[in-house]
Structure formats: structure tokens, C-alpha cells
Structure 1
Amino acid sequence: MTKRKRQDAAVPDAAAQQQPPTNSNLPQKRFYRQRAHANPFSDHNLEYPHSPGHCDWTVHYPKLAPSGKVPEFADVGCGFGGLLIALAPLYPDTLMLGLEIRVQVSQYVQDRIEALRVTAAEQNADDGAHYQNVSIVRANAMKFLPNYFGKHSLSALFFLFPDPHFKARKHKARIISPTLLAEYAYVLRPGGIVYTITDVKDLHEWMKSHLESFPMFEPVTEDDLRAEGKGPIVDAVYNSTEEGKKVERNKGDKWLACFRRIEVPRV
């Protein structure tokens, strides 16, 4: 692993210094307080692999990675890990990785996964809910995504309720942009799906228009995804995240846009 020393953008709450719950006790969010967003252009104290080949996935998936498996689902800006936790028992043989730039939030997700694994072991869970297939890295996906995922290695990329960056001068920090879409097309295999959802219509139109304009993606409807057996994923995209639940409580709108990575014929 290579380490780049930079100033940390996180501002941990004093309560976060307390020892979080261990064993089968789920962590409590009040011990992991953090600002709602982090500037992706700021300096951060990050560790990252030189390349996907330098990733030791056995650290993240000790029971599954030794067989040669690598992550297939990537949740960019995974927040408190709601999507990962919801999908883990539904796809127990699929490795999933969350990427989150905020220190305390990523630590919360890591502690949550560890607690769920311990609980599953104590209960001898045999229904797929062992959570050995999910993990998280603290990473800036706008800079280091190809360091974690090889060409055509992913079958699903998730961008759920990303920071809208309302001001026009901040639009360059939006997670969907022409430059970044080239990287997403690189790591996503043909047939793979990009899932986006937001409660901000302007951001929805921004993400949708950029994906429509990019030649390696084509829109796919929610009905088509459900017909292909991806209904559980769509449901989790709508309802599993903390942001999605908040929008639901406030009776707000959710704007979904999904795109398929297409195969581009060689000339």
C-alpha cells in the first residue's frame, strides 16, 4: 500500500473518541459524528493500493476472497452502509465494497459489518446473512477508483443520493461527469448497471443527461431491470439508505436513473 499524507477534512466529534460497541452489539451513530459532506478536492490522509492487483481482499473478505473472488458491486459514497447491509444476504456469493471518504462514517460501517458478522456467527446463521461478502474502504473515488477495481470487474455501480453541490462553481465536484464516466465505463463490465438516485431533480437531470451523452452507456428502465430479476436491487436503491428513508419520511420525491454499460464493437 502507498500512503499519501494529506490534511484530513474530517472533524470528529468528541464523543467519537469513546470506545464503540464490540462483539454482537451494533455501533451507535452518535459515537461517529461527522460533517455531512467532504470536499473531494481537499487533501486527505489516505492509503490506497498501487493497482487492483495489490489489493489484499482477504483482509476484507477472509472467508470468500481466498477462492479468488473480487468485488462485483461498488457503492460509491456508501454513507452509513445501508445498501451494503440490505444486499449482503440477498447476494451472499457476490462481494460488495463501499467507498466512503469521511473518517468517522467509514469507521462506523466497518464496525457495523464486524458486529453483524459476530452476531451471525453466534446465531449460526445459515440463511446467507453472514455479511462475509461486504466491506468498506476509506477512499476518494473521484481519484482512486481504478486503484481498486480492474477493467470490467464490476457488474454494478451505485451512486445513491450523492452530494448535489448546488452552486454552479461546485458542479465540477459532482460524482457524475464526462471524465469520471470514462473511469466508470472502464471498471464496469459490458451489461453492468449504473444505478443513480437522488431527491434533487436538478441533480437527477444532470446525471441523466451526462450518462445519456456518454457513448458507452444506454438507459435501462426500472421495469426492464425488474424483469431481469434485479427488483431486489432496485428496491434497496430506493429504500435502504439513510437518505432514502429520510426522503420517505418527509414525503419527498426520489428520482431514479439507471444505465447499462454497452459493448462497443472493435473497429
Structure 2
Amino acid sequence: MQNDMPKITGEKRQAEEGQMEARLPQKKYFRQRAHANVFSDHHLDYPISPAHMDWSKNFPNHFAPKEGAAVDGAVVKDSGKKVEFADIGCGYGGLLVALSTVFPETLMLGMEIRVKVEEYVNQKILALRKNHPGSYDNISILRMNAMKFLPNFFEKHQLSKMFFLFPDPHFKKRKHKARIITPTLLSEYAYVLRPGGIIYTISDVKDLHLWMVKHLDAHPLFVRIPDEELADDPAVEHVRNATEEGQKVERNKGDKYLACYRRINDE
């Protein structure tokens, strides 16, 4: 007698038992233009102040929901931690993933203005958390415009590291005002970065590198870190090679211009 019961494959059985690994998203489904107009109205959500930010959506293991609701039936208490690393224009999240296991006790946030890229990184982080329980819960991403709303998210002296990796060069002179490193923006970065904190910049465009160095050198609250001192910084290797753009430059045997600056104490 023929058995009419549907055949249960090993794959289906694993899925039913909750054992199947989450598939990582594929970049080919999340591609979009390399850069976005930072001066446009992108209809972004942002808190009116850092105190109003609900971080539980990004770091559910570290923050209780603002309204005090339970998560998966359990009451979650704040861990007492705050976001310390910010990757500005984080792209496809390579640096976040790389640093997550290097600094497992540190909360890190990527900030990306492009919708599809933010969706990709978010799905990747969720898949990594599912596939590696207890890991990657210290990284997350927000869709936002750091040039406009950074102080809405971070308190004074909250951050210990900020990353500006292969930013948009904005080659045309009339577009230089859109560059991520400017005297005005550096004062905002100095506000959210604690004394002793570090700004990491890297570019394969020498003109942009010199632009960033010029403005950082001129700012009274930043001092350049000597290259020999950077050799002991575990983040530097990943700054050079963890991002999609950095890997592309490596494949093309291009140059990478690195400059890192420490936030000095102004009190």
C-alpha cells in the first residue's frame, strides 16, 4: 500500500525544530547608488534628544523598551551600557561585523542613509545573531543622516571611536560642503567624542585624504596619532581591510591613506 503521507525532508525537519541556520542576505538584491544627497529630505526618524532614543529595537539584549514592555515574555533590564563606537556611512557593515568579536563588550552602531543598504546590514546582523547565539548582539545599524542629526542620538562625550571609512569624495569644488569632514562638523564630532577618543579616517583618494588631514590638523580639539602608535591599535587592520570599499581597493592594488586623530581634553 502506497504511503500518501508527505515526505519530511531533513531540511524541513531542521526548520520545524528551529535548528536551521538563517541565510545571510545577498548583496545583489540590495544594490543602489553609491552615494546619496545628504542635503535632501530623506524622511528620517530621529529622537528629539538622546534621552528620548529607544535603543531596545537595536540592542534588545542590552536595553529595555521605553514603554517597559516585556521582550519575548521576559522583562529586560538595561545593561548600563551605551553605544561607544559609531561607523558613519557604514556601507555594507563589514567593519561592524569585524569589530564585533574584537570588542565583544562594546556597543557599536553603523549609520547609513541609503535604504537598501541599511536593510541589507540589518538582515545580516539578525542572521548572524541567530546563527551565533550570544554573539553579534553588540552591533546594529540605523538609517540616518549623521551630518544633520548626530547630536540627537549621542550625548556629550558618549563615543570613544568614530569611523569615516572611504567617504564620498565629492570631487567638484561646489560639492565640498557635502564632505563628511568640515570645520563645523568636526566641532559636532568633538562634542559627542570623549577626551581620549579616536577618529579614524581612510580614503583611496589622496585629495580627500589631504582635505581631511588639513581640517583635522587645524581643529583645536584633535591631535594626530603617530603611525607607529597605530601599530598597536587592533581596530586599524579592520579599518584598512574589513569594508567592501577597502577590499575593492586592495584587489585593484590601489593606495589607502590612513589618518587617525585623538580627541584632546579641553577642560
1:118-267 correspondence runs (5 A): 118-121=130-133, 130-227=135-232, 230=233, 232-265=234-267
Deviation at 1:222, TM superposition (A): 3.0
CA distance in 1, matches of 2:161, 2:97: 16
CA distance in 1, matches of 2:131, 2:22: 5
Residue 174 of structure 2 aligns to which amino acid in structure 1?
R
Residue 79 of structure 1 contacts residue 100 of structure 1 at CA under 8 Å; is this kept in 2? yes
Residue 226 of structure 2 aligns to which amino acid in structure 1?
T
Deviation at 1:24, TM superposition (A): 1.4
Residue 199 of structure 1 contacts residue 255 of structure 1 at CA under 8 Å; is this kept in 2? yes
Residue 238 of structure 1 aligns to which amino acid in structure 2?
R
Compute the TM-score of the two structures, normalised by the length of structure 2. Answer: 0.86
Q: Which runs of 5+ in 1 are unaligned?
A: 1-21
- Out of 97, 102, 106, the position equivalent to 2:114 is 102
Equivalent position SS for 1:246: helix
Residue 52 of structure 1 contacts residue 149 of structure 1 at CA under 8 Å; is this kept in 2? yes
CA distance in 2, matches of 1:26, 1:53: 33
Deviates more, 1:60-69 or 1:232-241: 60-69
CA distance in 1, matches of 2:238, 2:222: 22
Residue 33 of structure 1 contacts residue 104 of structure 1 at CA under 8 Å; is this kept in 2? yes
Deviates more, 1:59-68 or 1:79-88: 59-68
Residue 54 of structure 1 aligns to which amino acid in structure 2?
H
- Out of 41, 44, 50, the position equivalent to 1:43 is 41
Residue 83 of structure 1 aligns to which amino acid in structure 2?
L
Deviation at 1:226, TM superposition (A): 3.0
Residue 241 of structure 2 aligns to which amino acid in structure 1?
N
Deviation at 1:23, TM superposition (A): 5.8
Residue 34 of structure 2 aligns to which amino acid in structure 1?
A
Does 1:117 pair with 2:129? yes
CA distance in 1, matches of 2:31, 2:220: 40
Residue 235 of structure 2 aligns to which amino acid in structure 1?
I
Residue 63 of structure 1 contacts residue 132 of structure 1 at CA under 8 Å; is this kept in 2? yes
CA distance in 2, matches of 1:144, 1:23: 36
CA distance in 1, matches of 2:244, 2:98: 12
Report the count of equivalent residues: 234
Residue 103 of structure 1 aligns to which amino acid in structure 2?
V
Identity %: 63
CA distance in 2, matches of 1:264, 1:144: 24
CA distance in 1, matches of 2:21, 2:121: 14
CA distance in 2, matches of 1:55, 1:105: 22
> CA-to-partner distance for each residue in 1:40-63, whole Å, 9 max, x for gaps?
011111101111111111221111
CA distance in 2, matches of 1:59, 1:222: 38
CA distance in 2, matches of 1:246, 1:33: 16
1:65-76 correspondence runs (5 A): 65=63, 66-76=78-88
Residue 222 of structure 1 contacts residue 234 of structure 1 at CA under 8 Å; is this kept in 2? no
Flag as ranges the 4+ runs of structure 1 deviating above 3 A. Answer: none
- Out of 85, 92, 95, the position equivalent to 1:80 is 92
Residue 145 of structure 2 aligns to which amino acid in structure 1?
N
